[in-house]
Amino acid sequence: MQKFSLGYNFDAISCESCKAFFRRNALRPLEKLKCRGNGGCDVSFNIRKRCKRCRLEKCLQTGMRKEWILSDKEKAEKRAKIEENRLLKQINDNEQELRQLTKRDSKTDDDLSLDLSPLLNQSILNDFDWFTIQFVQDCFIESVQLNQIAGISCYPSTQPIESTIELFRVPLYITSMRLITYIKQLNEFQQLDKDDQVYLVKLNLLTVCFLHSAFIYDPRTDCYHEQDTIDPLFSGKDWIKTLNKQFHNEMKQIRNDLIDIFQSDDIIIKLFYLILIFSNQISLNQATQCLLTPNINTLSMFKAQNIFADLVYRYCLHQYGSNQAPTLFLRYIHKLMKVQQLVDAVKYTINDYIDIAELSPLMQSLM
């Protein structure tokens, strides 16, 4: 007797093979699946593969529901929620540890009233943490200085962007070069295998490029400009003509929301760039080559990401205290996940805007 496993799939009991079959075929129009018989094919365990239409009809008759199949967007939202819950658990663990420290160090004498929060905040970050924060800041400054724009106008001139292809060829390209130089200086990135490095760059760099572009936008002048560089100004009116207007408007709103949360704190901004860079498989429409890349060391990626997640969270505790920091931190993460979704939607529809073959190999790899 041949054995097979049963489970509750798409609101009905089925075997794993039928579960996979239903996921692949349920959303296809039924009329496109032709039955070579008269619609009454025997769909038993041993001969079920002979007629897809009859097999699909039997799946539907048994109660399997195609509306339970998650779309790419729904899958991404589910992954994002899982990641958010993971970070929330980490935050709660840190809070619990903080309370234990406070409880252990506080005095129980009713006659002695002592506010330990300033002392506690001083101990959240040690000298090595401050060194790491300064190193991260210096690495970014150096990466900008090492990658200067050539062959176009210089500040204070305005460089026109006539098309979406120019958006990717000029401002986004130079930003991507600077970000790659930035992360290559970090030990956490250097210690990853080359395949893992390439995987993370392909997966996440474009998201950070657009996020950084949002932060260098000045609404007072409606221009994008990297501070302390000879980069030209890029007009917001030109940017909004590329891709689609809704994308740029949403990015500007997210920029305002992020600034409202942590007041343009450059330390927080740069550390979150690194958290995004080291993120693994929480984006909406990841490139197929990334999903199918073998031998990816996800544990190493997570450990690297966790170093910066822990550091930025403790920095937030230091700056905003244990009452405000957890809420602000989660609000910030939620907004960054929205950025990921917006940029991944751009990746998914990029062929509607440009011929990516016209881009440099680097920019092609980020699509």
Domain locations in the chain as residue ranges: 6-68, 72-365
Kindly state the percentage of the chain with pLDDT values over 90.
Answer: 37
> Would you say 305 and 278 are in contact if contact means Cβ atoms under 8 Å apart?
yes
Higher pLDDT residue, 307 or 108?
Answer: 307
CA distance 296 to 80: 20
Average pLDDT, stretch 50-66? 84
319-350 pLDDT, tens digit per residue, is 998 889 989 999 999 999 899 889 988 888 88
Average pLDDT, stretch 93-117? 48
Q: What pLDDT sits at residue 151?
A: 78
Strands 217-218 and 6-9 come out as unpaired
User: Could you tell me which CATH class the domain 6-68 is placed in?
Assistant: alpha beta
Q: What pLDDT sits at residue 245?
A: 87
Q: What pLDDT sits at residue 100?
A: 59
Average pLDDT, stretch 255-265? 90
Q: What pLDDT sits at residue 275?
A: 94
| pLDDT over 60 (residue 117) | no
Tokens read off for 84: 């958010």
pLDDT-wise least confident of 134-143, 146-155, 185-194, 356-365: 146-155
pLDDT-wise least confident of 50-59, 129-138, 185-194: 50-59
CA dihedral 191, 277, 350, 239 (to 10 degrees): -130
pLDDT-wise least confident of 68-82, 126-140, 201-215, 345-359: 68-82
| pLDDT over 50 (residue 111) | no
192-242 pLDDT, tens digit per residue, is 999 999 999 999 999 999 999 999 999 999 999 998 888 889 999 998 898
Highest mean pLDDT among 85-94, 97-106, 343-352: 343-352
Determine if residue 108 is left, alpha or beta; phi over 0 gives left, psi from -120 to 50 gives alpha, anything else beta: alpha
Are 6-68 and 72-365 in the same CATH fold? Answer: no
Q: What are all long-range contacts of 127-133, with beta carbons under 8 Å and residues at least 24 apart?
A: 129/311, 129/314, 129/315, 132/311, 133/267, 133/271, 133/311, 133/315
Q: What pLDDT sits at residue 364?
A: 86
Q: What pLDDT sits at residue 113?
A: 40
CA distance 13 to 58: 12
Higher pLDDT residue, 137 or 263?
Answer: 137
On average, the pLDDT of the chain sits at 81
What band does 35 get if pLDDT is binned at 50, 70 and 90?
confident
CATH superfamily, region 72-365: Retinoid X Receptor (1.10.565.10)
Q: What pLDDT sits at residue 140?
A: 94
Q: What residues have CB less than 8 Å from 227, skipping those under 6 apart?
A: 216
Q: What pLDDT sits at residue 20?
A: 81
245-262 vs 298-349: helix crossing angle, rounded to 10: 140
Cis peptide before 156 (omega within 30 of 0): yes
141-187 pLDDT, tens digit per residue, is 999 988 887 778 788 888 999 999 999 999 999 999 999 999 999 99
pTM for this prediction: 0.67
277-311 pLDDT, tens digit per residue, is 998 854 444 444 444 455 788 888 889 999 999 99
> Would you say 258 and 331 are in contact if contact means Cβ atoms under 8 Å apart?
no
Q: What pLDDT sits at residue 65?
A: 84
